[in-house]
Amino acid sequence: VSRWSWWRRGGEGPPDAGRSATDNLQRAADGREDARPARDTGRRPPGPPPVRTSPVTAARLLEIITDRGYHVRTEPDGSLTGVWDGYQFHIRLAGEEQDFLSVRGLWGRLVPEELRGAVAQAANDWNRDKIWPTVFTAPTPDGVGVRTEIMADVGAGATDRQLLDIIEGGLSAGVQFFQALGRSMPPIEEPSPEV
């Protein structure tokens, strides 16, 4: 009865009131008393301030990319193009309301006619086994090209870190696919020098 007498008397609280759970655990580890959790007062310890998202614009994408040390060219429509590991990539805002971030890569070779079926199968296998990037073939005026793309919804805004993760993820995964595709293709025949 005396152990809980503070409760009946409306006293000031138990002997360990105001002590943190860490203090109680330390005291128990030292053999000074039983470990008792501290009362939850509803207050949380201060932590880092919440990270806020900001609207995504072409100017903001350019700033994030150049701050990272990448060299890109700004196109008339505000999109950005650059070369990573020998492959051309196009970074832009897409959609009717410019609320999707697209990172699209272009393989630097055209698919030979006799290998179109094999390349289409390689793209299908990749898309089945990997989450991203999406891989597809696309006709060009000169033949069939191969492209990669990731798209992320940024309509609600994004942090700088989120944007950089999307961009670098699209670049890295696109390069990975293009390198794998290049290893599976016959080498490009270079014209022999004139003797």
CATH assignment at residue 124: 3.30.1460.10
| Calpha distance 157→125 (Å, rounded) | 33
Kind and range of the H or E run holding 182 = helix 160-184
| Calpha distance 19→35 (Å, rounded) | 11
Looking at the 3D structure of the chain, how many domains does it have? 1
| Calpha distance 109→149 (Å, rounded) | 17
In a domain, 18, yes or no: no
**pLDDT at residue 2 in the model:** 45
Residue 38: which of 8, 15, 9, 12 has the closest Cα? 15
In a domain, 144, yes or no: yes
Model-level pTM? 0.70
pLDDT lower than 70: segments of the chain: 1-42, 188-195
Residue with tokens 């794998």: 180
**pLDDT at residue 48 in the model:** 80
137, 120 Cβ separation under 8 angstroms: yes
What are the distances in angstroms from CA 27 to CA 12, 22, 31, 40? Answer: 21, 9, 6, 19
In a domain, 12, yes or no: no
- Boundaries of domain holding 70: 58-184
SS3 state of residue 178 = helix
Q: What share of the chain is helix, strand, coil (3-state, %, to 5)?
A: 35, 20, 45
**pLDDT at residue 141 in the model:** 87
In a domain, 36, yes or no: no
